[in-house]
Amino acid sequence: GRCRRGAGMTNRPTNETIAHFIYNEAALVDAGRYDEWLDLFVEEAIYWLPLSPNQNDHRGEQSIACEDKMLLNVRIKRLKGPRAYSNQPPAKCLHVLQAPSIEEAEQHRFITRAPFFYVESRGDAQFFLAGRVMHRLRIEQGVLRIVEKRVDLINADAALPPIFLFP
């Protein structure tokens, strides 16, 4: 079956189930359902935008962003708060993903990669990002969860505009 929050999984998920999970993760951000999105991450999860595709460790080098679940939660609270003046008008986004390839698959751990196109807009302004997204997933208490989300932008070394949401 589909991998939804609360839906237990007894066997290895199918490639279709894993792809649906990846698409759903992006759709939650696009819909502004940030609390549900954050629930997809394990407690020790990392959301990482490296400066270079050659980076192998988020701790040893400078990154565009590297946030653990606590920092993601702080950012979400700030986005939802009435005093988020820097986010006025509120930012909106849209993810367009190619079908994810499953690069590694064990019984309870998976690594996927997918090319993506991301648009973020605020008022009359919008900008576009493109790259590849890697998800490191595991089954925890019968559901797929995100251990690491790595977003490699094709122009990560360029001067980028402020990114308010989550590519």
pTM: 0.89
Does the N-terminal peptide bond of residue 89 adopt cis geometry, omega within 30 degrees of 0?
Answer: yes
Cα–Cα distance, 9 to 146 (Å, whole number): 15
Query: What is the predicted pLDDT for the residue at 9?
Result: 58
Give the model's confidence band at 3: pLDDT under 50 very low, under 70 low, under 90 confident, else very high.
Answer: very low
SS3 content of the chain, % helix, strand, coil (to 5): 20, 40, 40
Structure tokens at 151: 């977003």
Q: Which helix (H) or strand (E) holds 72?
A: helix 69-80
Query: What is the predicted pLDDT for the residue at 31?
Result: 97
Residue 4 has pLDDT above 80, yes or no: no
Question: What are the tens digits of pLDDT across the range 71-91?
Answer: 999 999 988 876 665 666 888
Residue 142, SS3 per DSSP: coil
| pLDDT, averaged across the chain | 89
Question: What are the tens digits of pLDDT across the range 88-114?
Answer: 688 899 999 999 999 999 889 999 999
Residue 33 has pLDDT above 90, yes or no: yes
